[in-house]
Amino acid sequence: MERTKIVDVLQRTDYGTVVNVKGWVRTRRGSKAVNFIALNDGSTIKNIQIVVDVEKFDDAIIKDITTGACISVDGELVQSQGKGQSVELQCRNIEILGVCGADYPLQKKGHTMEFLREHANLRMRTNTFGAVFRIRHNMAMAIHCYFHEHGFFYLNTPIITASDCEGAGQMFQVTTKNLYDLKKDEDGKIDYSDDFFGKQASLTVSGQLEGELGATALGAIYTFGPTFRAENSNTPRHLAEFWMIEPEVAFNDITDNMNLAEDFIKYCIRWALDNCADDLEFLNQFVDKQLIERLHFVLEHDFVRLAYTEGIKILEEAVQNGHKFEFPVYWGADLASEHERYLVEQHFKRPVILTDYPKEIKAFYMKMNDDNKTVRAMDVLFPQIGEIIGGSEREADYDKLMGRIEELNIPMKDMWWYLETRKWGSCPHSGFGLGFERLILFVTGMQNIRDVIPFPRTPKNAEF
Ligand code: 4AD
Ligand code: MG
């Protein structure tokens, strides 16, 4: 008999029909005469209840229906008497596909997130992680739909690259050689000419520079791909391997860029509320009791838009009024997540887009303001998260961009392909990067970024 997914069985009302379901046993309980199996196949957070007349089945089979076992059941669809479920299956036939011993780590009881992280190979089978990864899938769909509907083209930018977009020196090197085997020049610098690419190559920290080439040809593009940063930050907001979405749009200025960011992120949140109701309700009940309320709140309010200088004034006032921050606040300081979250959670009580940061703390490609001190950067700051988006209007003027490149000592010869966009038909343009996992953190209410990516990569952790 053809298998039906549990998500579909739960919608059906053709009582009396026999269907086949396959899945993993969550629990089996009951008396000597009647057993109730809660079965889950991952298609929904909901289990289907299977009612078993124990005497009709072999003892050996019943004994093997343990938590975690994989079974196939033919059962008659019947209206359920139980609370919270509309249908159940009256069992006709059971086959054990895979037994599961008592040493299975996910026996039914509340597990800590740390415990489940140690069992990341199995944790997708729990309700919490099932919900998180179904929502993660839905957010990817929302992102592609948003950009497709708005006339953006999906551009695949390289994962292996020779340029450091953010200039922060956080790149993982890609080489086929043992670095000690590569020659060194007179100054002791490694000579990569013998290596696979003939030059130093790394994993990308951002697809933006290549994205700008796309935007200045196709008008509006977005990237959505894996991104790598060798940041040694063991925080609940940083991964060494994460996914980033980077739209880039010709003719957009910083205001258009802010409008795009706000509209885009609200679309994703609305998508989650419309398409992930069961999973969100579960997370709202067991992970974060304010989750759904917070999602609605963000949808219903305009984001605050504020210059960095004004943000610093608010933070300085907070310090004067006795608020203690771990890191110092002064004009020119890079904001830590405690500062970002103060502005969002305590001062404005809604998302904030902070703009016009000091040029010293931002990347070389951002458009300079007339004050020659600040650049047209914009960071979107979210409750619970801090920075969720970083973006800017780009410097479109060749000479000004060259000036920044020289000031920062960025090797010119490596940037020729980028600079040509400013030489031939340069245009104003803007874009931003959204950290996919930070969006998932916000939408699921989870606390740690390691718990919203199936296989987290963090310092000292690349197990499987
Ligand atoms: O602010 P960032 O570094 O900006 C860029 O990379 C630009 N090139 C984007 C652009 O304008 N096209 O990173 C963008 C976002 C951050 O706001 C954050 O959400 C996420 O990427 N992010 C990380 N997420 C998880 N782990 C990390 N180590 C991250 N670093 C950045
Ligand atoms: Mg940033």
DSSP structural state of residue 5: -
Count of CB atoms situated within 10 Å of the CB of 221:
27
Top CATH class of 123-170+205-451 equals alpha beta
The Å distance, Cα 244 to ligand 1 centre, comes to 7
Pocket test for ligand 1, best of 147, 244, 354 (most atoms within 8 A of CB): 244
Domains in the chain: boundaries:
6-98, 123-170+205-451
- Distance, CA of 385 to CA of 366 (rounded, Å): 24
Complex ipTM: 0.99
**Of the ligands numbered here, which is closest to the C-alpha atom of 393?**
1
- Distance, CA of 247 to CA of 262 (rounded, Å): 13
**Number of the ligand 1 atom closest to the C-alpha atom of 388:** 19
Q: Kindly list the strands in the beta sheet with 352-358, ordered across the sheet, starting from the edge strand earlier in the chain.
A: 153-154, 220-228, 241-250, 429-435, 386-393, 374-382, 352-358, 304-307
**Of the ligands numbered here, which is closest to the C-alpha atom of 165?**
1
**Of all protein residues, whose CA lies closest to atom 19 belonging to ligand 1?**
435
Are the C-beta atoms of 458 and 234 separated by less than 8 Å? Answer: yes
Give φ, ψ of 160 to 5 degrees: -95, 125
**Of all protein residues, whose CA lies closest to atom 26 belonging to ligand 1?**
238
- Distance, CA of 59 to CA of 450 (rounded, Å): 42
**Number of the ligand 1 atom closest to the C-alpha atom of 231:** 28
- Distance, CA of 454 to CA of 357 (rounded, Å): 34
The Å distance, Cα 137 to ligand 2 centre, comes to 24
Axis-axis angle for helices 416-423, 398-407 (nearest 10): 150
Residues of the chain with pLDDT under 70: none
Give the residue among 228, 257, 331, 268 at the shortest CA–CA distance from 137: 268
Could you read off the pLDDT of 211-243 as tens digits, one per residue?
999 999 999 999 999 999 998 788 999 999 999
Q: Which helix (H) or strand (E) holds 432?
A: strand 429-435
pLDDT of residue 390: 98
The full 3-state SS of 132-176, as one line of letters, equals HHHHHHHHHHHHHHHHHHCCCEECCCCCEECCCCCCCCCCCEECC
pLDDT of residue 462: 86
Q: Which residues line ligand 1 (CB under 6 A)?
A: 165-166, 206, 208, 229, 231, 238-239, 242, 244, 246, 387-392, 431-433, 435, 437-438
**Number of the ligand 1 atom closest to the C-alpha atom of 229:** 28
The Å distance, Cα 214 to ligand 2 centre, comes to 22
AA identity, residue 398: Y
Query: Are 6-98 and 123-170+205-451 equal in CATH topology?
Result: no
**Of all protein residues, whose CA lies closest to atom 18 belonging to ligand 1?**
435
Which residues have C-beta within 8 Å of that of residue 122, sequence separation ≥ 6?
105, 106
Could you read off the pLDDT of 392-451 as tens digits, one per residue?
999 999 999 999 999 998 887 888 999 999 999 999 999 999 999 999 999 999 999 999
The Å distance, Cα 48 to ligand 1 centre, comes to 41
pLDDT of residue 297: 97
Which residues have C-beta within 8 Å of that of residue 90, sequence separation ≥ 6?
51, 75, 76, 78
The Å distance, Cα 463 to ligand 1 centre, comes to 24
CATH architecture of 6-98: Beta Barrel (2.40)
**Number of the ligand 1 atom closest to the C-alpha atom of 387:** 17
**Of all protein residues, whose CA lies closest to atom 24 belonging to ligand 1?**
435
**Number of the ligand 1 atom closest to the C-alpha atom of 391:** 11
**Of all protein residues, whose CA lies closest to atom 6 belonging to ligand 1?**
206
The Å distance, Cα 27 to ligand 1 centre, comes to 42
